[in-house]
Structure 1
Amino acid sequence: MAHCSSYQKLSLQNGDLLFVTAKGTGLSGAINNVTQRQETISFDHIGILEKEGNELFVLHAAPKGGSQKQQIKEFLNDQKEEGQKVIVYRLKPEFQKSIPQAIQKAHQMLGKPYNFNYILDENSFYCSDFVERAFREDHIFKLEPMTFIDPKTGTINAFWEDFYKKKNLKVPEGEPGCNPNGLAGSEKLERIREL
């Protein structure tokens, strides 16, 4: 694995968004099945890059560890172990003024648990929810009605039906939310490169 100094050479910037490619199975596959927007690539996780002196960190909400600040090396190793890739996106220049405040907001959310229901609340966050909230004050991303409908069948995906049934919850079809594919599709972002 490359040393942190070699990540610096990749010209990563404070506030860059790190999107993780989706796997085809389990929770990742189920998220992707109902949210994929691009034929070529889809994502199931996202974090915000923070530069602190010479060190790089990722601010993100993950099932293991909740809302956290993780060294980039660890973050990338976790994705590599799962066979996933990380793609860097960046806010277009006219929106970059939002970054310092977003990072400050992300810090306020650290330590909160992961939101395993994907139903928005103020005490726990899922990955794209964490990022959307960090940038919310400047309306960088928008919440959209969530869908759990399988586009192939037109009915609620069986994974999600079962997922919510086990939690004694109704599938939150149409409730406000966000997902990594929706965030990646924002016209306020540009794709930079694969890490």
Structure 2
Amino acid sequence: MKSLLYIGIFFGLSACARGEQPLRTGDLLFQVGRESAMGGAIKAATGNDCELKFTHVGIAVIGDRADSVLEATSNGGVRMTALQEFLNKSAYANGRPLVIAKRLKDTAGITASVRRARTFLGQPYDYSFRPDNGKLYCSELIWESYLAPDGRRIFPTRPMNFRAADGSMPAFWIELFAKLGEEVPENVPGTNPNDMARDSMLTEICRWF
């Protein structure tokens, strides 16, 4: 009986709580992460007026032996993570992970995009948040992988903001870039999960809460 209960809990969390369409490979999973120094700094800088302040995004890979998420993480670089593990890393509300799945309205190039994303497996995490340096942060992985038929990146970049809403620079960023020996890349073109989640090219498929 206990085994059946645990199985039920597992599938209850793995499946979307709200939404009619099942996950497909190439869907983007936007996550509100558990509170951390980096997550808090990202929320402060990119939250704006979003319903949720996403701190992470990954790519769903469904039916590849097991359901997984292709993601760039600060503790493992570009890696494949079991879907349940990905959900477990989320912040929770009422016992459910704060994750929303979104899909490109034009799905023609998704297979090629996921194939391209797989080629980045093993690349280190991009703590510098700068393009074309052989490293990737979470939304940069999506930006590099999802291309139009003519080779253009379909998600736009915007001048990055690292400041909190009051204009101050969080201590996390000051200390991080001091250790790297770099300037904070304020206004350098880049991406973040919140801007990406709001893009009109995407439509919500389901959510877990």
Q: TM-score range by the shorter chain?
A: 0.7 to 0.9
Q: 2:61 matched to 1:50?
A: yes
Structure 1 or 2: larger helix share?
1
* Structure 1 residue 155 displacement after superposition: 4.1
Mapping for residues 58-137 of structure 1, pairs under 5 Å: 58-79=69-90, 85-92=98-105, 95-136=106-147, 137=151
How many percent of aligned residue pairs carry the same amino acid? 32
Q: Is the 8 A contact 2:31 2:100 kept in 1?
A: yes
- C-alpha distance 14-194 of structure 1, shift in aligned 2 (>3 A): same
Match of 1:17 among 28, 37, 48: 28
More moved, 100-109 vs 52-61: 52-61
**Which one-letter code corresponds to 1:103 in the other structure?**
V
Which one of 169, 185, 188 corresponds to residue 198 of structure 2? 185
C-alpha deviation, 1:59, in angstroms? 0.7
- When normalised by structure 2's length, the TM-score is 0.80
Deviates more, 1:164-173 or 1:106-115: 164-173
SS of match in other structure, 1:68: strand
TM-score, normalised to structure 1's length? 0.85
- In structure 2, do the counterparts of structure 1 residues 28 and 138 end up closer, same or farther at CA, with 3 Å as the change threshold? same
Deviations 1:75-102 (A, max 9, x none): 2223368x8521111111xx21121111
Instruction: Name the residue aligned to 2:4.
Output: none
- Between the two structures, name the one with larger relative contact order (CA 8 Å, sep ≥ 6): 2
Amino acid at match of 1:193: C
Where 1:79 maps in the other structure, the secondary structure is coil
Aligned pairs, number: 191
Give the drift of 1:138.
4.9
Q: Give the greater-gyration-radius structure (CA).
A: 2
Partners of 1:188 and 1:32 in 2: CA distance: 23
Aligned to 2:185: 172
| Alignment root-mean-square deviation, CA | 2.6
Q: CA deviation at 1:24?
A: 5.2
Query: Corresponding residue for 1:147?
Result: 161
Change (3 A) 1:53 1:109: closer
SS at match of 1:96: coil
| Structure 1: runs of 5 or more not aligned | none
- The alignment partner of 2:51 has SS state of coil
* 1:98–1:138 CA contact under 8 A, matched in 2: no
Structure 2 unaligned blocks of 5 or more: 1-8
- Secondary structure at the aligned position of 2:119 is classed as helix
Paired residue type of 1:108:
T
Shifted more, 14-23 versus 106-115: the winner is 14-23
Q: Distance in 2 between matches of 1:162 and 1:55?
A: 39
Cα shift at 1:55? 3.0
